[in-house]
Amino acid sequence: MPEYYGYAGRVLRIDLSREKYHIQPLEKELIAGYLGGRGFNSKRLMDEVPGGTDPLGPENRLMFATGPLVGTGFPTASRFNVSAKSPLTGILGDSNAGGHFSAEMKYAGYDQIILEGISKNLVYIFIDDDDVSLINAGHLSGMDVYETTKAVKEEIGDRSVQVCAVGPAAENGVKYAGVFANLMRAAARTGMGTVMAGKGVKAIAIRGSKSVEIAHPGKFERLVEKFEEDVYNHPQYWPRRIMGTTRILLPLNMGGFLPTRHFTTGVFEHAEEVSGEKLAKEYNVKTRACFSCILPCSRFWVIKKGRYRGKYGEGPEYEPLSAFTARVGNPDVEVALIANDMCNRLGLDVLSTAECISWAMECYERGWLTRDMADGLDLSWGNAETILTLIEKISKREGFGDILADGVKKASEKLGFGQEIALHVKGLEIIQADPRGLKGYGLGYAVASRGGDHLRSEPFFELSDDPERGKELFGIPETALRLEYKGKGKLVSFFEDWCAITDALEVCKNVGENMEVLPFDLAGEVMHAATGFKFTADEMRRAGERIVTVERLFLVREGIRRKDDTLPKRFLEEPMPEEAVNSAGSIFELEPMLNEYYTERDWDLETGVPSVSKLKTLGLDGYIEELKRFDVPLRE
């Protein structure tokens, strides 16, 4: 009888400084408290990366984690999380990607891979079941993600080996470089590629021949069938299959919260020309899915004529599409395709890159930044050549690109202007939805454990316009209305817990959470069927809350307090302009929302630190002494 069902039951630790590795059993307490994936990484980061650690020093750990459902055939369970202390933000760094890497990790027999120390030379790591080799990668230095992946596969002589790699941006120390699996499955937020390259690792190749055992196969099969049926019959199935997340660009524009010209307005006059519909009609040629996914939402595109004729690539999702069109004021969808593809190949986070460029454009339009200061570039809104040139320059840390390569917060500090319009939270550049038009999302950005990002909460319910249901589910009708602030604390904490367990199981949030097909009770059932561990809906929610809270502890240990849970001034003080008809006049009411959120979480209203009683309830009181050592103010 296997010792573990669902899980591989092992953790691989690689000490790059000593060029040694060892395999340890997966701790059962970790499963009970944190489920897997993001939960494992966050808990271990809190335990193993001391407060104040240099993100690019040997003490930082880079962790890859997969989940208990990955490799079982459960639809969309294909994801993995990459986590470390972030060199961009100095707080928790974490990013999630799909593809096939995660399943291969399980087949090689690992739930988590932990990189420690720093390698003397640039290497790539080849994990072949239980054999782990560090292979000199000097000859791969400077190669882009596509070239690296191809070269590693060729050297190993097996095209089916799964590879995740970093590009030249990471090697050059750009603070928001990502880790890329299957060429363009990007774990790009918060600079995890920067940490990987900083450790001297260019790529990880993995191959496995083991299997994943299921505790209750009959029950598991029935649950998979039910899940598949829910997905196939879902009204979002075909729209997502045809357009992926790009389907939301036009609705956001109609709602008046499509960030345009660096969030100076919420409507883009060229929205139709850069929409998901336009891509589907004129550029997309086929779809592609992650491992065991029944909703192939990724799309291959080809440009068939014009100056970019013959260029091809995969994606983009809504974020890069709208970031390289509306956000930078560019009406040419082909430029956005090329920009996104360049970021993938060079290994950059599209959102941070687009924020840095659009921030520079706004500074230029306001007369704060001159051509002389920006290598002679014309930074007028939408200048295609400038956008593409800057992506290249950032990746090489060349000229003005070097300033932008540290992120928008540092760039504005260094230049001494534009801090009030640098759109980030805790140093992480914010995403492509204006919080003045989506109050719950905005609160999510303000409190997210990795900085200004929506993927920690995605409280989509506020778009439902269904106050009755809001009352029924959350006791507050306004939770269902995007422009209302009341009830959003409750809504966001619920959705944060949901996102946390979805990430822990490493199921795709596009499906499990966004399409509402994997609620807490079903997740608990699936967990039981796959692993044999029993979890009620309440216990699943509690595990989600524990993950969110341990991440908060990581942040408060680094000095994060209520004052840091905020949004850029623009959203708090500048109402949405009249032209953004459906969001016109709206501003973001931060304080009452934060109060409600902290109350819901039982975090101190003044400091934003979780209360001692909350820590006790979640079994996290073991951290109290550690927090005291860092002068974290604690209240009962």
Number of residues that bind other proteins (CB under 8 A): 34
Report what 124 binds from ligand SF4, other proteins, none; CB cut-off 5-8 Å by kind: none
Out of 47, 59, 230, 413, point to the residue binding other proteins (CB under 8 A). Answer: 230
Instruction: Determine the Cα–Cα distance for residues 365 and 87; give it in Å rounded to an integer.
Output: 30
For residue 297, the partner it binds in ligand SF4, other proteins, none, with Cβ less than 5 to 8 A by kind, is ligand SF4
Based on the shown chain and the rule CB under 8 A, indicate whether residue 495 belongs to the binding site for other proteins: no
Using the rule CB under 8 A, is 254 a contact of other proteins? yes
Q: Which stretch binds other proteins (CB under 8 A): 45-53, 62-70, 406-414, 510-518?
A: 510-518
Which residue's structure tokens are 């260094």? 414
243 interface partner picked from ligand SF4, other proteins, none, CB below 5 to 8 A per type: other proteins
* Count of beta carbons in the 10 Å neighbourhood of residue 507: 28
Angle subtended by helix axes 488-505 and 520-531, to nearest 10: 20
Report how far residue 412's alpha carbon sits from residue 87's, in angstroms, rounded to the nearest whole number: 17
Strand stretches in 290-393, DSSP E: 298-302, 312-314
How buried is residue 202: exposed, middle or buried, by Cβ count under 10 Å (0-12/13-18/19+)? Answer: buried
Distance (Å, rounded) from C-alpha 509 to C-alpha 81? 13
What is d(CA 128, CA 359) in angstroms, rounded to the nearest whole number?
A: 44
Q: Is 293 in the site for ligand SF4 (CB under 6 A)?
A: yes
Among 239, 296, 519, 575, binds ligand SF4 (CB under 6 A): 296
Span 67-96, contacts to ligand SF4 by CB under 6 A: 76, 78
Nearer to ligand SF4, 4 or 64 (CB): 64
- Please choose, from the candidates 110, 120, 105, 290, the residue with its C-alpha nearest in 3D space to the C-alpha of residue 204: 105
Site membership for other proteins, residue 582 (CB under 8 A): yes
- Among residues 147 and 521, whose Cβ is nearest to other proteins? 521
The site partner of 290 among other proteins, ligand SF4, none (C-beta below 5 to 8 Å per kind) is: ligand SF4
- Quickly list DSSP for 555-595: HHHTT--GGGS---HHHHHSPPPTTSGGGTT----HHHHHH
Binding partner selected for residue 52 from other proteins, ligand SF4, none, CB under the kind-specific 5 to 8 Å limit:
none
122 versus 224: smaller Cβ distance to ligand SF4:
224
Nearest distance in Å: CB 254, ligand SF4: 24
Task: Check binding of 273 to other proteins (CB under 8 A).
Answer: no
Q: What is the β-pairing status of strands 80-85 and 92-97?
A: antiparallel
Question: With left for phi above 0 and alpha for psi between -120 and 50, is residue 336 left, alpha or beta?
Answer: alpha
Q: How far apart are CA 177 and CA 194, in angstroms?
A: 5
User: Which 489-508 residues touch ligand SF4, going by CB under 6 A?
Assistant: 508
b or e along 327-356 (b: 16 or more beta carbons within 10 Å of the residue's beta carbon)?
Answer: bbbbbbbbbbbbbbbbbbbbbbbbbbbbbb
- Shortest spacing between CB 291 and other proteins, in angstroms: 24
Q: Which is nearer to ligand SF4, 99 or 255 (CB)?
A: 99
Binding test (CB under 8 A) with other proteins, winner from 276, 329, 347, 487: 276
Binding site for other proteins (CB under 8 A): 230, 233-236, 238-239, 241-243, 247-248, 250-251, 254-255, 272, 276-277, 281, 460-461, 463-467, 469, 514-517, 581-582
Binding site for ligand SF4 (CB under 6 A): 76, 78, 98, 289-290, 293, 295-298, 508, 510-511
